[in-house]
Amino acid sequence: MKAAKIRLYVEHALGEGQTVPLTRDQAHYLFGVMRLLPGDAVSLFNGRDGEWRAEVVEAGKRGGTLACTGQSGAQRNPPDLWLLFAPIKKARTDFIVEKATEMGAAKILPVQTEFTNAERIRQDRLQAHATEAAEQCGGTFVPKVTALQRLSKVLEQWPADRQLMFCDEALAGDTPTLPDRFAGQPWAILIGPEGGFSEAERARLSALDVAHPVALGPRILRADTAAVAAMTLWQIQLGDWR
C-alpha cells in the first residue's frame, strides 16, 4: 500500500466507512496543488477520532469526497498545558504558535502585557498556523488559539487548580525543577514579553499561590526560543516526554 504522505485536518467525523466532504480550500490543496487523483491516499485527523487513512473518491475544483479506509493511529491529546505569550513581531508570533503546537500545548493564549506593543492579532491566521503545524508534526490534536486578552484580566480570573510556570529573565541561575507532585495536573507556561514584565505584573504573578518562577539559563532568550525551551523543560519533567 502506498503510504499517505499528506496529512489533513478536517472538522468532519472520521470512522469506519465514513465519507468526508472537502471544503473548497481543501479541494484546491489536494487536487490543485498536490495533484491527487481518485484512489490516492491521504491521512486525516479531526482532533477527536485519531488518525485515519482515506482515499480520494471524487476530485473536483471546488470540492470533493474522501472515504476512510482504516484507522492508522489512536487519538493522542497533549497534556493539559496552556501556553501564554505576549505577541511580538508577526513572523515570531507565527513561530511561537507553530512551536507550541509541535511541543504539545493544549491551548495557546496570546496575552497583552504592559510592555507588549501588539494591540491586536490575527486570530484566524494563528489558528491556521496551529492547524498546519499539527498536520506537519504528525499530531492528532490542534490546540485552540484564543483571542488576545490582557494579562491582568487573565490573572484576575486565574483558575485556582492550574499551576503557572512563569519565565522571568530577571531571575538568574536557578536550576529549573518543577515539583513532581503537580504532575498530571492542569498547568500553564507564561513567556514574558521581550521588554520584560512590569513591576506590577511581577508582583501579581508572585502573589499567585500556583505560580512557579523559572529561570531559563544565563543568556537572555528571545520569546520564541524561550517558548520552546520552557515547554521542553516542562515536557521532560512533567509532561508526555517522560
Contact set with a copy of itself (CB under 8 A): 76, 95, 98-99, 102-104, 136-139, 175-176, 216-222, 225, 228-229, 231-233, 235-236, 240-242
Amino acid identity at 56? V
Q: Which is nearer to a copy of itself, 117 or 241 (CB)?
A: 241
Least separation in angstroms between CB 192 and a copy of itself: 14
Least separation in angstroms between CB 78 and a copy of itself: 8
Least separation in angstroms between CB 61 and a copy of itself: 30
Q: Which is nearer to a copy of itself, 183 or 220 (CB)?
A: 220
Phi (first) and psi of residue 189, to 5 degrees:
-115, 130
Least separation in angstroms between CB 45 and a copy of itself: 13
Q: Which is nearer to a copy of itself, 157 or 175 (CB)?
A: 175
Least separation in angstroms between CB 204 and a copy of itself: 26
| Dihedral of alpha carbons 213, 214, 219, 223, sign | negative
Q: Which is nearer to a copy of itself, 152 or 232 (CB)?
A: 232
Amino acid identity at 165? M
Q: Which is nearer to a copy of itself, 64 or 176 (CB)?
A: 176
Q: Which is nearer to a copy of itself, 25 or 240 (CB)?
A: 240
Q: Which is nearer to a copy of itself, 58 or 169 (CB)?
A: 169
Q: Most distant CA pair in the chain: distance in Å?
A: 61
Least separation in angstroms between CB 194 and a copy of itself: 10
Q: How far apart are CA 221 and CA 223, in angstroms?
A: 6
Q: How far apart are CA 126 and CA 240, in angstroms?
A: 24
Burial class (CB in 10 A: 0-12, 13-18, 19+), 123: middle
Least separation in angstroms between CB 96 and a copy of itself: 11
